[in-house]
Amino acid sequence: MRGGLGAVLWARRDFDRVLFWSVVALLVIGIAFVYSATVENVQVPTPLHTRQIVWALLGLALLFLVTALPIQFFYSTSYILYGLAILLLVGILVAVGGSSRWFDFPLGIRFQPSEPAKVALILAAARYLAGRNVSFRRVQDFLVPMALGGLPFLLVARQPDLGTSVIFPVIIIPMLFWRGLPLWAIILLCSPGLSVMTAFSPLTWGLMLLVIGAIVWRARLRRGVAAAVLLTVIAFGVLTPMAWDHLHEYQKQRIVTFLNPQQDRLGAGYHIIQSTVAVGSGGLLGKGYLQGTQTKLNFLPEQHTDFIFSVIAEETGLLGALTVILLFSLILARALRAAAEIRNPFGQLVVVGATAVLFFHFVVNVGMALGLLPITGLPLPFVSYGGSHLLSQMVLIGLILGFRMRWMEY
Amino acid sequence: MIGDDIQQHRRRGRVLFACCAVVLAFLVLRVAQLQVARHDVLHRIGEQNRLRPLTVQPTRGRIYDRQARILVDNRPSWTVFVTPVGGVGQERVIAELAGILETPSESMRERMQQRRGYQYTALPVMRDVSFDAVAHIRERALDLPGVTIQMEPRRRYPFGTLAAHVLGTLREIDEADLTERQRQGQDYLFGDMVGKRGLELTEEETLRGTRGVEYVEVDAHGRVVREVTSAAERPPRHGRDLLTTLDIDLQLAAESAFHDTARGAVVALDPRDGAVLVLASVPGFDPLDFSGVLDTETWNRLTNDPDRPLLNRAVAGLYPPASTLKVLTALAGLQQGVITPTTRLDPCVPGGWALGNRPFQCWSPGHGSLMLVEALEQSCDVYFYQVGVRTGLKPLHDLAVQFGLGHRVGIDLPDELAGSFPDDGWYNRRLGTGRWNESSQVINLAIGQGEILATPLQVAVMTAVVANGGERVTPFLVREVLEPADGTLQPRSHEPSQPIPGLDSQDLAVVRAGMEAVSNGEHGTARWLAPRLPGIRVAGKTGTGQNPHGEDHAWFTCYAPAEAPEIVVTVLVENGGGGSTVAAPIAFEVLQAWARTRPSVPATVVGEGGVR
């Protein structure tokens, strides 16, 4: 690591070593527990942990490559990259007929176009929001970023991969906040989502509507805008029960199961229960590396991808689980500090968006493993097995590290 | 962003981090809740999680004959189970398993789809697999998730095909049976074996037992990691054994007395209580054909065979009883007072006996004018035509019903048929009221022809009533039930013998004298029998049933010893010809075997017999 490009980078005082080594530590943990999760159960020509090592090395190389590129490069190519990412998403819908999330390549390698789309969206939205005339006094100032996030959201939701698609609008919100959109406005932006979540409980929905109404009143919006916001909220509340009937059976099942996992202990609720049992049975220090019974007996579903956190928690207990959470907290803290230090507004926004992606994945994945959130299939960044995802996360880290090194550039 | 200063960004960074921190703190609390507060509970669940209950099939009860010889017991065998896990892996597993078991994968896939609501229970896909296949599957265990092998007891028949109809068969439970038994609250699962015929069916509850549970540590693919001793273990309650009344020596004598191509039945009863010593139906089948998975080819061969080997002719074969019924006609005539033992009726002459202007022939014209004993001895049709006409339909019918004809006699076997003995109503329905003549119908019934149909078992019961002095017996096969756990014997209660009201012992004595003459008299239709069974006096009646579809059915029904009857033997040979020449020799074989093994025959009795 101390030769070539790495050596050049290493010399830079502003390379965030804490952030970098936290990522490396998570990569090592990931490889170790992909090994633990798959050593006995999955029979493939190349063991998955070996593949994961290759992906990690490729990811580090990509990280350094991204770090080496100037901010201006990403600024100028952002819209092109966004266009390409959208083309890939359309391509998979057309090519595979809407039934797959991957392009399949030889050697069992799968490429998931929703991964580069996350990076591209961050860059494109950051470029738009970094524009000098963005002030949120005009509707398009937040409608355009929302549209940028909405397009990949719809395309990925069509795949259908509802879990992954939610990330796209979620990326935009902290970026808007960073650009100066007040909190009340963000609540209003989220209000259609709140309306959907409360649509099945009239009382909660009514309360939510009152709060939104109060915010609209306090914000002294123009009448037209206020009416549009309230009508949208009401429309979402009314349409959600109708849309429910159009969901795929497995999607309904996942939501129902999340709400009441005991209802179907051997069906879909199985995953949630088995995962909490794995975590809980780990105790303070865990059952020991390679000793997890839930893992070894294969009761955990998708344990090397979706439920890798459960494997770690079972085998290394509270100690291991807190270590992973701590490492992520360090990455988040360092990334947000970098965002405040960087002077280039485009750079700031990119770092905020990248942080949002990492955070969202982390929370959704760990929340799922702990039985707090429905099963969405989002991986744990740097730890879960999987190439496309690991590479896209490494690109995000590369952006954060690289922009941080160039904090003085404007 | 010219106006924005670093302070503002610091603040927003703190706000964002605060939001993140709140969420992260929440996750930390949840981790602590699961791993510290709920650790004990979840740890225990995790332990149970690895334990899979495994049903242990009870050993099915054995079936013994009257001398405690084993007729049916069990041997260990291997059964391959698949726990459906779904997904693409399932297809590969099925394909590979089908290859090892050398069976088409389509049929196996079909079987997996039949499983209905039993997604998570192991389903038996192949029974009685070879040791080689078991070894092969064990070797490939890692590539065959969800495939398990369990020991299951299978039926074994030490006497081969003997008494197959009585012992019965097992088959895998079918949809309708399963639904019905589950509805009744019985513990049956898809893939269970259940009695389908014979005693296996009627005694299903006695033989089956209750399944047990043991625990094994498994992985999520159902692969057994190791066995675990657990307090929740429940051993299976094994099925109870049946002590039957069958005598396998006599059964063997009966079945081997038939020619290879013959069809027929033999029933031997103890006339004192109705215990069944022999119940044979020829041709038989091999119950082993049913013990594993019955292939369609074997099934088609058995069901399409014109000789109908699966039919238990002893209880479900219907034949005109022919001259064996003359015993009843004689009794009815005596009872009604239309004849006395010394009444001589119109002579049997070559021209036959005319009812109106229609002559009815005797099977052997020229018997002359006979009294009752002689008429039975020579089985003179002309004599019994006249008795029948004098007695009338109703008295004959009523007596026949009292003797067990025209309805099920109630043996503990499935599929017993009632046969028929017509009465007024029957003819009115069949021929139209007033459009039939009683005499011309009863004249046929009197010699056991016409619309009478009886099973060999019914004829045996009828004979037993004559033999035991007028008591209607209910035949049975199961005498006692043995609880294998503690060796206790529980006698099976049976319908006691019922004296037939209005039956005069003098009348019976005359009929019995006639039957004795059949095998002992100078002109007896089976007079060859007595010299060949020294020491045992046999009383019997031959029958040769006219059969419009072919050769006559041959009957012989008898009891012995005549003085104090201990056994009734009834033989029917389908399309055999004459009762005396075809059926009586089979009865002779049975009686000879009986005499050989009869423990209660004192030597003096044999000596006395020798005097004759």
DSSP B205-269: HHHH-B-EEEEEEE-TT--EEEEE--TT-B--BPPPEEEES--HHHHHHHHHTS-TT--EEEEEE
pLDDT at A354 (0 to 100): 96
- Please state the separation of Cα B265 from the chain's center in Å: 14
Q: Which helix (H) or strand (E) holds B465?
A: helix B456-467
Q: How confident is the model at residue B428 (pLDDT cuts 50, 70, 90)?
A: very high
pLDDT at A3 (0 to 100): 46
pLDDT at A1 (0 to 100): 40
Closest residue to B36, CB basis, from A318, A348, A367:
A318
Closest residue to B43, CB basis, from A283, A300, A332:
A283
Q: What is the mean pLDDT of residues B551-575?
A: 94
Structure tokens, B477: 């096969």
Structure tokens, A107: 């050697």
Q: Does B95 touch chain A (CB under 8 A)?
A: no
- Residue B91 vs residue A78, higher pLDDT: A78
Residue B286's SS3 state is: coil
pLDDT at position B49 over 70: no
Q: Is the pTM higher than 0.80?
A: no
B297 and B218 share a domain? no
pLDDT at position A278 over 90: no
Instruction: Using CA coordinates, name the residue in chain A closest to B12.
Output: A178
CB contact under 8 A, B35 and A280: yes
pLDDT at B385 (0 to 100): 94
Distance between CA B332 and CA B329 in Å, rounded?
Answer: 5
Q: What is the mean pLDDT of residues B235-261?
A: 92
Q: Which positions ≥6 away from A298 have C-beta within 8 Å?
A: A41, B219, B220, B221
Tell whether B603 is covered by a domain: yes
- Structural domain total, chain A: 1
pLDDT at A95 (0 to 100): 75
pLDDT at A249 (0 to 100): 63
Tell whether A1 is covered by a domain: no
B209 and B60 share a domain? yes
The mean of the pLDDT values for chain A is 83
B348 and B287 share a domain? yes
Closest residue to A318, CB basis, from B31, B49, B142:
B31
Least-confidence region, from A130-139, A200-209, B315-324: A130-139
Closest residue to A322, CB basis, from B2, B15, B31:
B31
Q: Are B204 and B414 in contact (CB under 8 A)?
A: no
* Among the listed residues A402, A403, A361, the one whose alpha carbon sits nearest the alpha carbon of residue A382: A361
Interface of B with A in 196-255 (CB under 8 A): 217-221, 225
Instruction: Please report residues of A whose CB lies closer than 8 A to that of B21.
Output: 329
Instruction: Using CA coordinates, name the residue in chain A closest to B33.
Output: A280
pLDDT at position B340 over 70: yes
Q: What is the pLDDT of residues A82-137, one digit of tens each?
A: 999 999 988 888 876 555 666 766 666 677 888 999 999 999 999 999 987 777 77
Instruction: Please report residues of B whose CB lies closer than 8 A to that of A336.
Output: 13, 16-17, 20
Instruction: Using CA coordinates, name the residue in chain B closest to A345.
Output: B1
CB pairs A-B closer than 8 Å: 130
Tell whether B10 is covered by a domain: no
What does each C-alpha distance from B26 to A67, A366, B12 come to in angstroms?
33, 11, 21
CB contact under 8 A, B24 and A325: yes
Strand partners, B214: B54
Tell whether B20 is covered by a domain: no
Instruction: Please report residues of B whose CB lies closer than 8 A to that of A287.
Output: none
Distance between CA A208 and CA A103 in Å, rounded?
Answer: 42
- Residue A144 vs residue A101, higher pLDDT: A144
Tell whether A62 is covered by a domain: yes
Q: What is the pLDDT of residues A45-82, one digit of tens each?
A: 567 888 899 999 999 999 999 998 999 999 999 999 99
Residue B14's SS3 state is: helix
Instruction: Using CA coordinates, name the residue in chain B closest to A323.
Output: B28
The DSSP code for B477 is: S
- Percent of chain B residues past pLDDT 90, beyond the cut: 51
User: CB neighbours (10 Å) of residue B283?
Assistant: 20
pLDDT at position B511 over 60: yes
B120 and B171 share a domain? yes
Q: How confident is the model at residue B84 (pLDDT cuts 50, 70, 90)?
A: low
CB contact under 8 A, A280 and B221: no
Distance between CA B394 and CA B389 in Å, rounded?
Answer: 11
Distance between CA A410 and CA B578 in Å, rounded?
Answer: 122
Q: Pick from B244, B270, B289: which residue ends a domain?
A: B244
pLDDT at A12 (0 to 100): 65
Q: Pick from B244, B271, B289: which residue ends a domain?
A: B244
Distance between CA A270 and CA A291 in Å, rounded?
Answer: 21
Q: How confident is the model at residue B225 (pLDDT cuts 50, 70, 90)?
A: low
B211 and B360 share a domain? no
What does each C-alpha distance from B274 to B68, B166, B200, B256, B591 come to in angstroms?
19, 16, 21, 24, 17
B228 and B258 share a domain? no
B335 and B397 share a domain? yes
pLDDT at position B605 over 50: no
Quote the minimal CA–CA distance from A242 to chain B in Å: 31
Main-chain phi, psi angles of B553, to 5 degrees: -85, 135
Q: Are B118 and B124 in contact (CB under 8 A)?
A: no
Tell whether A410 is covered by a domain: no
B463 and B595 share a domain? yes
pLDDT at position B373 over 50: yes
Q: What is the pLDDT of residues A20-51, one digit of tens each?
A: 999 999 999 999 999 888 776 544 556 788 88
Q: What is the mean pLDDT of residues B37-66?
A: 81
Q: How confident is the model at residue B593 (pLDDT cuts 50, 70, 90)?
A: very high
Quote the minimal CA–CA distance from A272 to chain B in Å: 13
List the domain range (segments joined by +) for residue A322.
11-405
Classify each residue of A209-223 as buried b or exposed e, where b means 16 or more C-beta atoms within 10 Å of its C-beta: beebeebbeeeebee
Give this complex's ipTM.
0.88
Distance between CA B263 and CA B420 in Å, rounded?
Answer: 22
Structure tokens, B492: 């099976």
pLDDT at A58 (0 to 100): 94
Distance between CA B560 and CA B279 in Å, rounded?
Answer: 17
Side-chain half-sphere exposure of B211, counting CA atoms within 13 A: 15
Q: How confident is the model at residue B2 (pLDDT cuts 50, 70, 90)?
A: very low
- The pairing of strands B241-244 and B63-64 is parallel
User: CB neighbours (10 Å) of residue B612?
Assistant: 10
Interface of B with A in 18-47 (CB under 8 A): 20-21, 23-24, 27-28, 30-32, 34-36, 38-39, 41-43, 45-47
Q: Pick from B244, B276, B293: which residue ends a domain?
A: B244
Q: What is the mean pLDDT of residues B375-385?
A: 94
pLDDT at A31 (0 to 100): 93
Closest residue to B38, CB basis, from A280, A293, A328:
A280
B476 and B328 share a domain? yes
List the domain range (segments joined by +) for residue B387.
249-303+315-481+492-611
Tell whether A4 is covered by a domain: no
CATH of the domain at B347: 3.40.710.10
Q: What is the pLDDT of residues A243-266, one digit of tens each?
A: 777 776 666 666 665 555 544 444
Residue B150's SS3 state is: strand
DSSP B18-51: HHHHHHHHHHHHHHHIIIIISHHHHHHHHHHHHE
Tell whether A181 is covered by a domain: yes
B277 and B238 share a domain? no
Structure tokens, B263: 């069809």
Q: What is the mean pLDDT of residues A141-161?
A: 85
Tell whether A149 is covered by a domain: yes
B295 and B334 share a domain? yes
CATH of the domain at B176: 3.90.1310.10
Instruction: Using CA coordinates, name the residue in chain B closest to A332.
Output: B17
Q: Are B316 and B415 in contact (CB under 8 A)?
A: yes
Q: Are A308 and A33 in contact (CB under 8 A)?
A: yes
Structure tokens, B559: 């009891």
Tell whether B78 is covered by a domain: yes
What is the SS3 string spanning B540-607? EEEEEECCCCCCCEEEEEEEECCCCCCEEEEEEECCCCCHHHHHHHHHHHHHHHHHHHCCCCCHHHHH
Tell whether A158 is covered by a domain: yes
Tell whether B24 is covered by a domain: no
* Among the listed residues A163, A162, A126, the one whose alpha carbon sits nearest the alpha carbon of residue A144: A126
Tell whether A261 is covered by a domain: yes
Tell whether B5 is covered by a domain: no
Q: What is the pLDDT of residues B453-473, one digit of tens each?
A: 999 999 999 999 999 999 999
- Structural domain total, chain B: 2
Distance between CA A392 and CA A67 in Å, rounded?
Answer: 14
The mean of the pLDDT values for chain B is 86
B506 and B607 share a domain? yes
Q: How confident is the model at residue A190 (pLDDT cuts 50, 70, 90)?
A: confident
Residue A64's SS3 state is: helix
